[in-house]
Amino acid sequence: MSLVEIKGLSIRFGSLHNPIHAVRRVDLSIERGTIHGLIGESGCGKTISGMALLGLLPQSARVSADAFRFDGLNLLDVAKSLRGRRIAMISQDPAAALNPVLRIGRQMDDVLKSHSGLPRFQRRAAAEELLAATGLADPRRVLKSYAHQLSGGMQQRVVIAQALATGADFIIADEPTTALDVTVGAQVLALLKRLVQERALTVLMITHDMDVVAECCDSATVLYAGHTVEAGRTDELLAAPRHPYTQALLAALPDAVAKGERLASIEGHIPSPFAVIEGCPFAPRCASAMAVCRQAKPPERDDGNHCWTCHLEPHHG
């Protein structure tokens, strides 16, 4: 059974008559012990979906779903109690996630105190061990430091160590490398990959960066305008994308064409969150859109380890 199983998730804000559709129809299925990418451009609902998993949505959000399960538990009931015990979060900006006026040691200890039940002297050893596990060379010095004395990469490692300290087995990483330099970001991804293997973790990697997905995700889900449009194993998804949006997104990358040639850009804009979408959300911008695409919801298609929603018949060969 998958660790996370979400079907038909919808999240709305605002009035009943004119709601803001933050998430319209998201399906997400994450296997244990894998890194799963949640890909999409701004406004596609990827961060909001992650917040729903954490139980961090504001009171005003109206959430509905056909299925919203974590390890068999219905998250619509228990999300708040799982946050910090089984589900942890790594955010984009590690500097903002750490308290600037407390030493790292104090912050690690606070987490361990509320989660481990260890006595004080053992907590200190545990904190050192966790920091060492995230590849920090001198955990004792780090424990005595303040956040601003550490580099961005070291801060992100401390945040990861804190997530491990909660004992969580599922980590939601929201753009964990965007604020970091390229080489440092690559190190953080490598660390996450190693931790997933060593500690049987599961990671949901929220990102807009195809390189990050290619680099570290076993599988991925592509969102567009609050809809899941395609999901599957990363190699399949990147090598043979089925949904026209995924195809267009990959074609827009600067390395998709020879140097100096024009990039394939997607014309038009994402639909407004107020819009009522009858057919396929991508139809107005899709190069191969047909009449039916604007009228009816596209069917779900599946070719074994790869599923997508589109009216176009899959062509083989």
Partner 1 sequence: MDEPLLQIRDLVVRYRRTGLFSAPPPPAVNAVSLELPTGSTLGLVGESGSGKSSLLRAILRLVPVESGTIRLDGDDWLALPEQSLRERRRAIGVVAQNPFLSLSPRLSIAEILAEPMTAQGRVPAQESRERAAEMLERCGLPGTFLDRRARELSGGQAQRVAIARALILQPKLLILDEPTSALDISVQAQILNLLADLKQELGLSMLFVTHNLKVVRHVSDKIVVMRGGRVVEAGSTEQISLAPTEAYTRQLMGYGRNLSGAEAALCRNRH
CA distance 226 to 108: 36
Is residue 240 involved in binding partner 1 (CB under 8 A)?
A: no
The verdict on 235 binding partner 1 (CB under 8 A) reads no
Identified binder of partner 1 from the candidate list 214, 238, 289, 312, rule CB under 8 A:
214
Say whether residue 72 binds partner 1 (CB under 8 A): no
210 sits near partner 1 (criterion: CB under 8 A): yes
Q: Which stretch binds partner 1 (CB under 8 A): 47-55, 87-95, 177-185, 229-237?
A: 177-185
208 binds partner 1 (CB under 8 A): yes
Rounded CA-CA distance 290/71 in Å is 40
Other C-beta atoms closer than 10 Å to the C-beta of 5 total 17
Distance CA 110, CA 162 (A): 10
Let me know the angle formed at the C-alpha of 155 by 114 and 45, rounded to the nearest 5 degrees.
80
Total count of residues recorded for the chain: 317
Q: Residues 141 to 160: which contact partner 1 by CB under 8 A?
A: 152
Q: Using the minimum distance from each CB to partner 1, give the nearer residue, 111 or 216.
A: 216
Number of C-beta neighbours around residue 33 at 10 A:
15
Task: Note the Cα 189 to chain centre separation in Å.
Answer: 13
CB nearer partner 1, residue 159 or residue 189: 189
User: Which CB, 75 or 189, lies closer to partner 1?
Assistant: 189
Are the CB atoms for 73 and 67 separated by under 8 Å? no
Contacts with partner 1, residue ranges (CB under 8 A): 41-42, 135, 137, 152, 181-187, 189-191, 193-194, 208, 210-211, 214-216, 248-249, 252-255, 257, 259-260, 262-266, 269
